[in-house]
Amino acid sequence: MSEGQHHLASHASLNPGDSLWQACIDQLAQELPEQQFNTWIKPLAAQVSDDFSKVTLFVANRFKLDWVRAQYAGRISSLLEKIYGQPVQLELALALRESSARTYSPPAANETAAAAEPPEISEDPNAAGFKNRLNTALTFDTLVEGTANRMARAAAMHVATTPGYLYNPLFIYGGVGLGKTHLVHAVGNKLLQDKPGSKVLYIHAEQFVSDVVKAYQRKTFDEFKEKYHSLDLLLIDDVQFFANKDRTQEEFFNAFEALLAKKSHIVMTSDTYPKGLTDIHERLISRFDSGLTVAIEPPELEMRVAILINKARVESVEMPEEVAFFVAKNVRSNVRELEGALRKILAYSRFNQKEISIQLAREALRDLLSIQNRQISVENIQKTVADYYKIKVADMYSKKRPASIARPRQIAMYLAKELTQKSLPEIGELFGGRDHTTVLHAVRKIGGERQQMTELNQQLHVLEQTLKG
Ligand SMILES: Nc1ncnc2c1ncn2[C@@H]1O[C@H](COP(=O)(O)OP(=O)(O)OP(=O)(O)O)[C@@H](O)[C@H]1O
Protein backbone atom coordinates (compact mmCIF):
# COMPACT_ATOMS: atom_id res chain seq x y z
CA MET A 1 0.00 0.00 0.00
CA SER A 2 1.40 3.38 -0.89
CA GLU A 3 1.71 6.02 1.79
CA GLY A 4 -1.05 8.01 0.09
CA GLN A 5 -3.51 5.15 0.22
CA HIS A 6 -2.55 4.63 3.78
CA HIS A 7 -3.50 8.19 4.51
CA LEU A 8 -6.78 7.73 2.71
CA ALA A 9 -7.61 4.69 4.73
CA SER A 10 -7.31 6.70 7.89
CA HIS A 11 -10.23 8.81 6.70
CA ALA A 12 -12.40 5.80 5.97
CA SER A 13 -15.41 7.17 7.80
CA LEU A 14 -15.86 9.95 5.25
CA ASN A 15 -16.86 9.30 1.70
CA PRO A 16 -13.72 8.53 -0.29
CA GLY A 17 -13.77 11.70 -2.38
CA ASP A 18 -14.02 13.89 0.69
CA SER A 19 -11.19 12.05 2.31
CA LEU A 20 -8.90 12.59 -0.68
CA TRP A 21 -9.48 16.34 -0.55
CA GLN A 22 -9.38 16.35 3.23
CA ALA A 23 -5.99 14.62 3.23
CA CYS A 24 -4.76 17.18 0.74
CA ILE A 25 -5.88 20.17 2.79
CA ASP A 26 -4.56 18.60 5.99
CA GLN A 27 -1.22 18.52 4.30
CA LEU A 28 -1.48 22.08 2.98
CA ALA A 29 -2.42 23.23 6.46
CA GLN A 30 0.89 21.85 7.64
CA GLU A 31 2.93 23.32 4.84
CA LEU A 32 1.55 26.81 4.51
CA PRO A 33 1.63 29.71 6.94
CA GLU A 34 -1.70 29.81 8.74
CA GLN A 35 -2.73 33.11 7.26
CA GLN A 36 -2.15 31.91 3.72
CA PHE A 37 -3.95 28.69 4.40
CA ASN A 38 -6.97 30.46 5.88
CA THR A 39 -7.12 33.03 3.13
CA TRP A 40 -6.66 30.87 0.08
CA ILE A 41 -7.13 27.19 0.79
CA LYS A 42 -9.72 26.88 3.51
CA PRO A 43 -12.51 28.62 1.58
CA LEU A 44 -12.14 26.29 -1.41
CA ALA A 45 -15.03 23.91 -2.03
CA ALA A 46 -14.05 20.67 -3.75
CA GLN A 47 -15.89 18.20 -5.92
CA VAL A 48 -14.17 14.88 -6.52
CA SER A 49 -15.28 12.68 -9.40
CA ASP A 50 -16.44 9.16 -8.49
CA ASP A 51 -13.36 7.51 -9.91
CA PHE A 52 -11.05 10.08 -8.25
CA SER A 53 -9.60 11.02 -11.62
CA LYS A 54 -10.65 14.66 -11.35
CA VAL A 55 -10.95 17.22 -8.60
CA THR A 56 -12.76 20.51 -9.23
CA LEU A 57 -12.18 23.37 -6.85
CA PHE A 58 -14.67 26.19 -6.63
CA VAL A 59 -13.29 29.61 -5.97
CA ALA A 60 -15.27 32.71 -4.99
CA ASN A 61 -14.07 35.14 -7.62
CA ARG A 62 -11.83 35.54 -10.61
CA PHE A 63 -9.03 37.25 -8.78
CA LYS A 64 -8.84 34.44 -6.24
CA LEU A 65 -9.06 31.89 -8.98
CA ASP A 66 -6.05 33.35 -10.77
CA TRP A 67 -4.14 33.60 -7.56
CA VAL A 68 -4.90 30.03 -6.45
CA ARG A 69 -4.01 28.80 -9.90
CA ALA A 70 -0.71 30.66 -9.95
CA GLN A 71 0.36 29.95 -6.42
CA TYR A 72 -1.14 26.71 -5.28
CA ALA A 73 -2.47 24.61 -8.18
CA GLY A 74 0.88 22.95 -8.85
CA ARG A 75 1.32 21.95 -5.27
CA ILE A 76 -2.28 20.79 -4.91
CA SER A 77 -1.96 18.60 -8.04
CA SER A 78 1.20 16.97 -6.85
CA LEU A 79 -0.24 16.38 -3.39
CA LEU A 80 -3.38 14.80 -4.82
CA GLU A 81 -1.25 12.56 -6.96
CA LYS A 82 0.93 11.62 -4.03
CA ILE A 83 -2.04 10.85 -1.80
CA TYR A 84 -4.05 8.98 -4.41
CA GLY A 85 -1.07 7.26 -5.97
CA GLN A 86 -1.98 8.29 -9.54
CA PRO A 87 -2.28 11.56 -11.42
CA VAL A 88 -5.47 13.47 -10.61
CA GLN A 89 -6.75 16.13 -12.98
CA LEU A 90 -7.26 19.44 -11.21
CA GLU A 91 -9.77 22.01 -12.37
CA LEU A 92 -10.53 25.43 -10.96
CA ALA A 93 -13.94 26.95 -11.44
CA LEU A 94 -15.79 30.01 -10.27
CA ALA A 95 -18.34 29.33 -7.58
CA LEU A 96 -21.82 29.74 -9.00
CA ARG A 97 -22.69 33.09 -7.48
CA GLU A 98 -19.88 34.92 -9.19
CA SER A 99 -19.88 33.09 -12.50
CA SER A 100 -23.55 33.80 -13.08
CA ALA A 101 -23.14 37.44 -12.11
CA ARG A 102 -20.51 37.86 -14.84
CA THR A 103 -19.07 40.97 -13.33
CA TYR A 104 -15.53 40.05 -14.12
CA SER A 105 -13.55 42.01 -16.66
CA PRO A 106 -10.03 40.84 -17.37
CA PRO A 107 -7.27 42.96 -15.89
CA ALA A 108 -4.80 44.73 -18.15
CA ALA A 109 -1.51 42.93 -18.64
CA ASN A 110 0.32 45.17 -16.24
CA GLU A 111 -2.33 44.63 -13.59
CA THR A 112 -1.95 40.89 -13.89
CA ALA A 113 1.71 41.27 -13.17
CA ALA A 114 0.90 43.29 -10.12
CA ALA A 115 -1.31 40.50 -8.80
CA ALA A 116 1.89 38.69 -7.91
CA GLU A 117 1.52 40.48 -4.59
CA PRO A 118 -1.45 39.05 -2.68
CA PRO A 119 -3.30 42.26 -1.96
CA GLU A 120 -5.73 40.77 0.50
CA ILE A 121 -3.37 39.42 3.04
CA SER A 122 -3.85 41.81 5.87
CA GLU A 123 -6.27 44.27 4.49
CA ASP A 124 -8.96 45.30 6.81
CA PRO A 125 -12.13 45.48 4.75
CA ASN A 126 -13.62 47.83 7.33
CA ALA A 127 -10.83 50.34 7.03
CA ALA A 128 -12.86 52.68 4.86
CA GLY A 129 -10.99 52.59 1.58
CA PHE A 130 -7.42 52.72 2.78
CA LYS A 131 -5.44 49.50 2.79
CA ASN A 132 -1.95 49.36 4.13
CA ARG A 133 -1.19 45.98 2.53
CA LEU A 134 0.96 44.93 5.43
CA ASN A 135 1.37 41.29 6.23
CA THR A 136 1.07 41.25 9.99
CA ALA A 137 3.04 38.01 10.30
CA LEU A 138 6.23 39.69 9.07
CA THR A 139 7.55 41.41 12.17
CA PHE A 140 10.87 42.09 13.85
CA ASP A 141 10.03 39.32 16.31
CA THR A 142 9.91 36.68 13.63
CA LEU A 143 13.00 37.94 11.82
CA VAL A 144 16.09 36.10 13.02
CA GLU A 145 19.05 38.40 13.50
CA GLY A 146 22.57 37.55 12.39
CA THR A 147 25.68 39.19 10.98
CA ALA A 148 24.11 39.07 7.54
CA ASN A 149 21.21 41.39 8.36
CA ARG A 150 22.36 43.14 11.54
CA MET A 151 22.93 46.52 10.00
CA ALA A 152 19.84 46.54 7.87
CA ARG A 153 17.76 45.40 10.80
CA ALA A 154 19.15 48.07 13.12
CA ALA A 155 18.54 50.80 10.57
CA ALA A 156 15.03 49.51 9.92
CA MET A 157 14.29 49.40 13.63
CA HIS A 158 15.51 52.96 13.96
CA VAL A 159 13.19 54.10 11.20
CA ALA A 160 10.26 52.22 12.72
CA THR A 161 10.73 53.88 16.09
CA THR A 162 11.65 57.40 14.93
CA PRO A 163 10.41 57.82 11.38
CA GLY A 164 11.11 60.96 9.43
CA TYR A 165 14.51 61.75 10.87
CA LEU A 166 17.67 59.81 10.18
CA TYR A 167 18.18 57.44 7.26
CA ASN A 168 15.61 58.88 4.92
CA PRO A 169 15.24 57.22 2.51
CA LEU A 170 16.38 53.86 3.79
CA PHE A 171 17.51 51.77 0.87
CA ILE A 172 17.88 48.03 1.55
CA TYR A 173 19.38 45.80 -1.08
CA GLY A 174 20.35 42.15 -1.40
CA GLY A 175 19.81 38.96 -3.37
CA VAL A 176 16.55 37.05 -3.66
CA GLY A 177 14.91 35.51 -0.64
CA LEU A 178 17.14 37.13 1.95
CA GLY A 179 14.42 38.86 3.95
CA LYS A 180 14.11 42.32 2.40
CA THR A 181 10.36 42.11 2.10
CA HIS A 182 10.11 40.72 5.59
CA LEU A 183 12.13 43.61 6.95
CA VAL A 184 10.08 46.36 5.33
CA HIS A 185 6.83 44.81 6.55
CA ALA A 186 8.40 44.68 10.00
CA VAL A 187 9.01 48.45 9.83
CA GLY A 188 5.38 49.10 8.95
CA ASN A 189 3.99 46.74 11.55
CA LYS A 190 6.16 48.20 14.27
CA LEU A 191 5.22 51.78 13.46
CA LEU A 192 1.54 50.90 13.45
CA GLN A 193 1.89 49.08 16.72
CA ASP A 194 3.52 52.12 18.33
CA LYS A 195 1.44 54.76 16.55
CA PRO A 196 -1.75 53.15 15.34
CA GLY A 197 -2.96 56.30 13.59
CA SER A 198 -0.04 56.42 11.14
CA LYS A 199 -0.70 56.19 7.46
CA VAL A 200 1.51 53.39 6.21
CA LEU A 201 1.54 51.74 2.83
CA TYR A 202 3.46 48.70 1.67
CA ILE A 203 3.57 48.36 -2.06
CA HIS A 204 5.48 46.27 -4.54
CA ALA A 205 7.07 48.37 -7.28
CA GLU A 206 5.04 46.51 -9.92
CA GLN A 207 1.84 47.48 -8.18
CA PHE A 208 3.00 51.08 -8.14
CA VAL A 209 3.57 50.86 -11.90
CA SER A 210 0.11 49.49 -12.30
CA ASP A 211 -1.37 52.31 -10.17
CA VAL A 212 0.34 54.84 -12.39
CA VAL A 213 -1.06 53.17 -15.49
CA LYS A 214 -4.55 53.16 -14.03
CA ALA A 215 -4.32 56.80 -13.00
CA TYR A 216 -3.17 57.60 -16.50
CA GLN A 217 -5.96 55.68 -18.22
CA ARG A 218 -8.66 56.96 -15.93
CA LYS A 219 -7.22 60.44 -15.57
CA THR A 220 -7.24 60.17 -11.84
CA PHE A 221 -3.84 61.58 -11.00
CA ASP A 222 -5.33 63.76 -8.27
CA GLU A 223 -6.50 60.68 -6.41
CA PHE A 224 -3.20 59.01 -7.06
CA LYS A 225 -1.31 61.94 -5.58
CA GLU A 226 -3.68 62.17 -2.66
CA LYS A 227 -3.03 58.49 -1.94
CA TYR A 228 0.75 58.57 -2.13
CA HIS A 229 1.63 62.07 -1.04
CA SER A 230 -0.37 61.86 2.18
CA LEU A 231 1.50 58.88 3.65
CA ASP A 232 3.58 58.90 6.82
CA LEU A 233 5.54 55.87 5.73
CA LEU A 234 5.93 54.44 2.26
CA LEU A 235 7.45 50.97 1.97
CA ILE A 236 8.24 50.11 -1.59
CA ASP A 237 9.63 46.75 -2.59
CA ASP A 238 11.87 45.85 -5.53
CA VAL A 239 12.36 49.28 -7.08
CA GLN A 240 14.49 47.72 -9.81
CA PHE A 241 11.12 47.10 -11.49
CA PHE A 242 10.95 50.80 -12.31
CA ALA A 243 13.54 50.24 -15.03
CA ASN A 244 12.45 51.74 -18.35
CA LYS A 245 9.12 52.95 -16.95
CA ASP A 246 9.54 56.66 -17.50
CA ARG A 247 6.13 57.84 -16.44
CA THR A 248 6.30 55.74 -13.30
CA GLN A 249 9.72 57.09 -12.45
CA GLU A 250 8.43 60.61 -12.84
CA GLU A 251 5.49 59.98 -10.54
CA PHE A 252 7.69 58.23 -8.05
CA PHE A 253 10.07 61.15 -8.12
CA ASN A 254 7.17 63.52 -7.33
CA ALA A 255 5.91 61.32 -4.53
CA PHE A 256 9.42 60.98 -3.19
CA GLU A 257 9.99 64.72 -3.06
CA ALA A 258 6.58 65.39 -1.54
CA LEU A 259 7.06 62.79 1.18
CA LEU A 260 10.56 63.86 2.09
CA ALA A 261 9.49 67.49 2.25
CA LYS A 262 6.91 66.66 4.89
CA LYS A 263 9.29 64.37 6.78
CA SER A 264 7.45 61.21 5.92
CA HIS A 265 9.70 58.21 5.69
CA ILE A 266 10.48 56.12 2.64
CA VAL A 267 11.95 52.63 2.80
CA MET A 268 12.90 50.93 -0.43
CA THR A 269 14.28 47.56 -1.39
CA SER A 270 16.08 46.44 -4.48
CA ASP A 271 18.17 43.56 -5.72
CA THR A 272 21.16 45.83 -6.13
CA TYR A 273 22.65 49.03 -4.69
CA PRO A 274 21.42 52.32 -6.20
CA LYS A 275 24.31 52.87 -8.60
CA GLY A 276 23.95 49.30 -9.81
CA LEU A 277 20.38 49.95 -11.00
CA THR A 278 19.94 50.10 -14.74
CA ASP A 279 17.52 52.15 -16.82
CA ILE A 280 16.50 54.36 -13.95
CA HIS A 281 16.89 58.12 -14.17
CA GLU A 282 20.01 59.51 -12.62
CA ARG A 283 18.11 61.99 -10.49
CA LEU A 284 16.19 59.13 -8.88
CA ILE A 285 19.29 57.05 -8.32
CA SER A 286 21.05 59.89 -6.57
CA ARG A 287 17.99 60.37 -4.36
CA PHE A 288 17.82 56.66 -3.53
CA ASP A 289 21.36 56.95 -2.27
CA SER A 290 20.85 60.15 -0.31
CA GLY A 291 19.76 58.61 3.00
CA LEU A 292 21.21 55.32 4.14
CA THR A 293 21.94 52.36 1.90
CA VAL A 294 22.39 49.00 3.61
CA ALA A 295 22.89 45.49 2.32
CA ILE A 296 21.41 42.20 3.48
CA GLU A 297 23.91 39.41 2.91
CA PRO A 298 23.19 35.72 2.59
CA PRO A 299 22.87 34.26 6.09
CA GLU A 300 25.86 32.52 7.58
CA LEU A 301 25.66 28.97 8.87
CA GLU A 302 24.66 29.74 12.47
CA MET A 303 21.96 32.09 11.28
CA ARG A 304 20.61 29.46 8.91
CA VAL A 305 20.51 26.98 11.78
CA ALA A 306 18.69 29.50 13.99
CA ILE A 307 16.19 30.32 11.24
CA LEU A 308 15.39 26.64 10.75
CA ILE A 309 14.92 25.98 14.43
CA ASN A 310 12.74 29.10 14.79
CA LYS A 311 10.59 28.33 11.80
CA ALA A 312 10.08 24.75 12.95
CA ARG A 313 9.05 26.06 16.36
CA VAL A 314 6.43 28.26 14.73
CA GLU A 315 5.01 25.01 13.38
CA SER A 316 5.22 23.55 16.89
CA VAL A 317 7.99 21.19 15.92
CA GLU A 318 11.30 20.88 17.75
CA MET A 319 14.00 20.42 15.18
CA PRO A 320 17.10 18.80 16.69
CA GLU A 321 20.13 21.02 16.30
CA GLU A 322 22.09 18.36 14.45
CA VAL A 323 19.33 18.12 11.83
CA ALA A 324 19.19 21.91 11.50
CA PHE A 325 22.94 21.88 11.08
CA PHE A 326 22.74 19.22 8.40
CA VAL A 327 20.07 21.11 6.46
CA ALA A 328 21.72 24.51 6.88
CA LYS A 329 24.99 23.08 5.66
CA ASN A 330 23.37 21.79 2.52
CA VAL A 331 20.95 24.60 1.73
CA ARG A 332 23.00 27.73 1.53
CA SER A 333 21.49 29.93 -1.11
CA ASN A 334 18.77 31.89 0.67
CA VAL A 335 16.13 31.82 3.35
CA ARG A 336 13.28 31.05 1.01
CA GLU A 337 15.00 27.83 -0.03
CA LEU A 338 15.68 27.04 3.57
CA GLU A 339 11.96 27.39 4.27
CA GLY A 340 11.22 25.13 1.33
CA ALA A 341 13.56 22.48 2.69
CA LEU A 342 11.97 22.74 6.11
CA ARG A 343 8.50 22.33 4.65
CA LYS A 344 9.60 19.21 2.83
CA ILE A 345 11.06 17.72 5.97
CA LEU A 346 7.98 18.49 8.06
CA ALA A 347 5.67 17.07 5.45
CA TYR A 348 7.81 13.98 5.01
CA SER A 349 7.93 13.41 8.73
CA ARG A 350 4.16 13.75 9.07
CA PHE A 351 3.36 11.56 6.12
CA ASN A 352 5.63 8.79 7.25
CA GLN A 353 4.97 9.37 10.92
CA LYS A 354 8.66 9.39 11.66
CA GLU A 355 10.69 11.52 14.02
CA ILE A 356 12.83 14.22 12.46
CA SER A 357 16.40 12.96 12.13
CA ILE A 358 19.31 13.47 9.78
CA GLN A 359 18.33 10.30 7.99
CA LEU A 360 14.79 11.57 7.49
CA ALA A 361 16.06 14.97 6.31
CA ARG A 362 18.32 13.22 3.86
CA GLU A 363 15.38 11.26 2.45
CA ALA A 364 13.06 14.26 2.34
CA LEU A 365 15.66 16.37 0.55
CA ARG A 366 16.92 13.59 -1.68
CA ASP A 367 16.38 15.49 -4.92
CA LEU A 368 17.99 18.61 -3.66
CA LEU A 369 20.99 16.81 -2.24
CA SER A 370 21.57 14.65 -5.26
CA ILE A 371 21.85 17.76 -7.39
CA GLN A 372 24.76 18.88 -5.32
CA ASN A 373 26.40 15.49 -5.54
CA ARG A 374 29.39 16.81 -3.77
CA GLN A 375 32.77 15.18 -3.78
CA ILE A 376 34.26 15.07 -0.35
CA SER A 377 37.46 17.06 -0.35
CA VAL A 378 39.86 17.79 2.46
CA GLU A 379 38.98 21.49 2.14
CA ASN A 380 35.36 20.63 2.56
CA ILE A 381 36.12 18.60 5.66
CA GLN A 382 38.19 21.40 7.13
CA LYS A 383 35.45 23.93 6.48
CA THR A 384 32.69 21.74 7.86
CA VAL A 385 34.58 20.76 10.99
CA ALA A 386 35.64 24.37 11.59
CA ASP A 387 32.02 25.52 11.23
CA TYR A 388 30.82 22.81 13.54
CA TYR A 389 33.28 23.56 16.32
CA LYS A 390 33.09 27.30 15.67
CA ILE A 391 36.75 27.85 14.94
CA LYS A 392 38.33 29.53 11.94
CA VAL A 393 39.17 27.45 8.88
CA ALA A 394 42.62 29.03 9.01
CA ASP A 395 43.18 27.26 12.32
CA MET A 396 43.17 23.99 10.45
CA TYR A 397 46.55 24.90 8.97
CA SER A 398 47.87 27.11 11.76
CA LYS A 399 50.47 26.10 14.30
CA LYS A 400 48.23 27.00 17.22
CA ARG A 401 47.96 24.32 19.85
CA PRO A 402 45.23 25.11 22.40
CA ALA A 403 42.92 22.14 22.81
CA SER A 404 39.93 24.11 21.52
CA ILE A 405 41.71 24.23 18.16
CA ALA A 406 43.96 21.17 18.22
CA ARG A 407 41.13 18.78 18.83
CA PRO A 408 38.86 19.87 15.95
CA ARG A 409 41.97 19.78 13.79
CA GLN A 410 42.62 16.16 14.79
CA ILE A 411 38.99 15.35 14.10
CA ALA A 412 39.31 16.87 10.64
CA MET A 413 42.46 14.83 9.98
CA TYR A 414 40.68 11.68 11.11
CA LEU A 415 37.76 12.42 8.78
CA ALA A 416 40.12 13.23 5.93
CA LYS A 417 41.64 9.80 6.30
CA GLU A 418 38.24 8.11 6.62
CA LEU A 419 36.41 9.89 3.85
CA THR A 420 39.00 10.63 1.15
CA GLN A 421 41.60 8.64 -0.74
CA LYS A 422 44.43 10.87 0.38
CA SER A 423 47.58 9.42 1.95
CA LEU A 424 48.85 10.45 5.39
CA PRO A 425 51.62 12.68 3.95
CA GLU A 426 49.17 14.32 1.55
CA ILE A 427 46.78 15.02 4.40
CA GLY A 428 49.66 16.39 6.51
CA GLU A 429 50.55 18.71 3.67
CA LEU A 430 46.97 20.02 3.45
CA PHE A 431 46.97 20.73 7.18
CA GLY A 432 49.69 23.36 7.03
CA GLY A 433 52.61 21.08 6.11
CA ARG A 434 52.42 18.74 9.11
CA ASP A 435 54.35 15.52 9.34
CA HIS A 436 52.56 12.29 8.40
CA THR A 437 53.19 10.95 11.94
CA THR A 438 51.11 13.83 13.33
CA VAL A 439 48.25 12.77 11.07
CA LEU A 440 48.65 9.14 12.04
CA HIS A 441 48.58 10.08 15.70
CA ALA A 442 45.34 12.04 15.19
CA VAL A 443 43.71 9.23 13.21
CA ARG A 444 44.53 6.64 15.90
CA LYS A 445 43.59 8.88 18.79
CA ILE A 446 40.21 9.96 17.44
CA GLY A 447 39.45 6.47 16.13
CA GLY A 448 40.18 5.01 19.58
CA GLU A 449 38.26 7.62 21.51
CA ARG A 450 35.31 7.22 19.20
CA GLN A 451 34.84 3.69 20.53
CA GLN A 452 34.76 4.92 24.12
CA MET A 453 33.01 8.27 24.01
CA THR A 454 29.41 8.34 22.91
CA GLU A 455 29.34 12.10 22.57
CA LEU A 456 32.35 12.18 20.26
CA ASN A 457 30.92 9.33 18.26
CA GLN A 458 27.68 11.24 17.90
CA GLN A 459 29.49 14.39 16.72
CA LEU A 460 31.49 12.42 14.18
CA HIS A 461 28.32 10.83 12.99
CA VAL A 462 26.74 14.24 12.35
CA LEU A 463 29.85 15.44 10.57
CA GLU A 464 30.02 12.36 8.38
CA GLN A 465 26.37 12.61 7.47
CA THR A 466 26.78 16.29 6.68
CA LEU A 467 29.82 15.71 4.51
CA LYS A 468 28.33 12.80 2.65
CA GLY A 469 25.29 15.02 1.86
N1 LIG B 1 16.34 36.56 9.04
C2 LIG B 1 15.20 35.92 8.80
N3 LIG B 1 14.51 35.34 9.79
C4 LIG B 1 13.36 34.70 9.56
N5 LIG B 1 12.82 34.57 8.34
C6 LIG B 1 13.44 35.13 7.31
C7 LIG B 1 14.67 35.82 7.47
N8 LIG B 1 15.09 36.26 6.28
C9 LIG B 1 14.16 35.85 5.40
N10 LIG B 1 13.17 35.18 6.00
C11 LIG B 1 12.01 34.55 5.36
O12 LIG B 1 12.42 34.10 4.09
C13 LIG B 1 11.39 34.28 3.12
C14 LIG B 1 11.92 35.12 1.99
O15 LIG B 1 12.17 36.44 2.48
P16 LIG B 1 11.66 37.75 1.70
O17 LIG B 1 10.44 37.47 0.90
O18 LIG B 1 11.59 38.85 2.69
O19 LIG B 1 12.91 37.91 0.74
P20 LIG B 1 13.27 39.07 -0.25
O21 LIG B 1 14.65 39.44 0.09
O22 LIG B 1 12.26 40.14 -0.25
O23 LIG B 1 13.30 38.30 -1.61
P24 LIG B 1 12.82 38.76 -3.09
O25 LIG B 1 13.83 39.70 -3.56
O26 LIG B 1 12.82 37.46 -3.82
O27 LIG B 1 11.46 39.36 -2.94
C28 LIG B 1 10.24 34.93 3.86
O29 LIG B 1 9.32 33.92 4.22
C30 LIG B 1 10.87 35.52 5.08
O31 LIG B 1 9.96 35.57 6.17
> What's the CA gap between 249 and 254, in Å, rounded?
9
Q: Within 13 Å of residue 455, how many CA atoms lie on the same side as its CB?
A: 0
Is 432 part of any known ligand binding site? no
Cβ neighbours of 281 (radius 10 Å): 15
Helix (H) or strand (E) holding 257: helix 246-261
At the fourth CATH level, which superfamily is domain 114-295?
P-loop containing nucleotide triphosphate hydrolases (3.40.50.300)
pTM: 0.59
CATH superfamily of 378-468: DnaA protein, C-terminal DNA-binding domain (1.10.1750.10)
pLDDT of the residue at 7: 42
Q: Establish whether 164 is an annotated binding residue.
A: no
Cα distances from 430 to residues 97, 353, 419, 446, 447, in angstroms, run 72, 44, 15, 19, 20
**Which residues of the chain have a pLDDT value below 70?**
1-17, 96-129, 370-375, 469
Atom in ligand 1 nearest the alpha carbon of residue 142: 4
Fold that domain 301-372 belongs to in CATH: Helicase, Ruva Protein; domain 3 (1.10.8)
Domain ranges of the chain: 3-101, 114-295, 301-372, 378-468
Per residue in 447-469, pLDDT (tens digit) is: 999 988 889 998 998 898 888 76
pLDDT digits (tens, 9 = 90+) for 213-241: 999 899 999 999 999 999 999 999 999 99
* CATH superfamily to which 3-101 belongs: DnaA, N-terminal domain (3.30.300.180)
> Do 3-101 and 114-295 fold alike per CATH?
no
Q: Decide: 341 in ligand 1 pocket, CB within 6 A.
A: no
User: How far does the centroid of ligand 1 lie from the alpha carbon of residue 149, in Å?
Assistant: 11
CB of 163 closer than 6 angstroms to any ligand 1 atom: no
In this prediction, does ipTM exceed 0.90?
yes
